[in-house]
A and B are shown apart, each in its own frame.
Chain A
Amino acid sequence: MNRLKCLITFFLLIFMHGITFGVITRSYAYTIRIKNIKLIRVVGPSTINLVINTSIAGSSIMSATFARDSSSYLQMTSIVPENVQRRIIVTAKDGAIPTGMKLELSAGECFTGLGDLGNVKISPVPLEVNIGKDLITGIGSCYTGTSGYRLTYSFGPDPNYVGTIMFNTQNYVSIVYTLTE
């Protein structure tokens, strides 16, 4: 019986030793990868309609007839690599701007979202076919939220070429926004 007690005590001591001092350390290596994200979209009507109009005889075509539309918004999500800034380039494509006319675009400040939302151009950007122009620069990692940058299109006579304007019922052009480094 004493031999049995001794045996049990021996095993208990070994077991308790294992609990108290047998700390096993294991290391796991995790690689967390944040994807390089650059997504933009424009929300608003399917087509922007801009129609100039004047009804006062003798009045300047330049001042009274600018057509404006501010019904669309630019939204984006961007995650940039370290020390990288992005910009949004805007280009007119697949069409033409009527002779003697100007098509300008401006982006309002973005009041929603978080992060490094960049800097919008203060002056309206005159659009030219197949020529990319900066609309927003200095974009870092950010998201605009569900509102975004309010886009304002402005269509009217170019003061230097008023005499070349011609009546034109339809003139399409595609405005392409590109988020790029």
Chain B
Amino acid sequence: MNTLYSTLLLVFLMMTSYFGVYCQNEGNVAKLPVLMSIPPVATLSLAGDSLNFSIKGKGTSQVITPNFAGTTWLNYTSVVEENSTNLISANLTTVDLPAEVIIKLKVGMATGAGYGQKGVSVGTITLSNYPQTIITNIGTCFTGQGANMGHQLNFQWVLHPNYDEDLLKEYNLKDLKVGVTYTISRND
């Protein structure tokens, strides 16, 4: 019998804890608190016609070659804190790039659909193993998904002005594959 009473009490407590009248009720007035939360958002991805490799998330990578002629588009969604912005940086993830070879990355201005405070391109940078900012001042926004949305990325492979031709012959430039990683982060 005690077990029965305990079970009934437990069921009652469970019911009241989930579905009891918790709001403030006073005659013809009832009140209920609502908590609204907006988490920070910072996601980016790549879109284009000849991507070798792409991972969605805060860090996104692709593999490019000297013959890479496709066009890449950088898509992102961002929700920032007040008085704060996000930025996107890029860096090479392959360390065996010949010193005679320079890869330039040209970042276009945001185009296509989307809404909000989209970022500003820094223009053209020379990629290195260290992250460099390519897009700044990203507020709360989204660029839209897919090609022709967001920022267009163009790569240019050039030889160093004072390159050593003999050293360069040691490399098979056609077989070069270089990884590029993009990261969206808070601009502290």
Report which A residues bind B (CB closer than 8 A): 38-62, 67, 72, 74, 97-98, 100-101, 103, 153, 155, 162-180
Contact = CB atoms under 8 A, between A and B. Distances in A.
A58 B140 contact: no
A62 to B, nearest CB: 8
A49 B33 CA distance: 9
Interface size class of B (residues with CB under 8 A): 35 or more
A55 B41 CA distance: 8
A31 B58 CA distance: 76
Contacts of B116: 61, 162-163, 165
A7 B32 CA distance: 85
Q: Which of B37, B47, B84 has the most CB of A within 10 A?
A: B37
Given A41-B25, A57-B56, A59-B142, A163 B35 contact: no
Contacts of B135: none
B37 A168 contact: yes
B38 A39 contact: no
A58 B145 contact: yes
B18 A45 contact: yes
B14 to A, nearest CB: 13
B28 A167 contact: no
Contacts of A98: 36, 38
A82 to B, nearest CB: 19
Interface in B86-134: 114-117
Contacts of A47: 32-35
A110 to B, nearest CB: 15
A11 B84 CA distance: 112
A101 B38 contact: yes
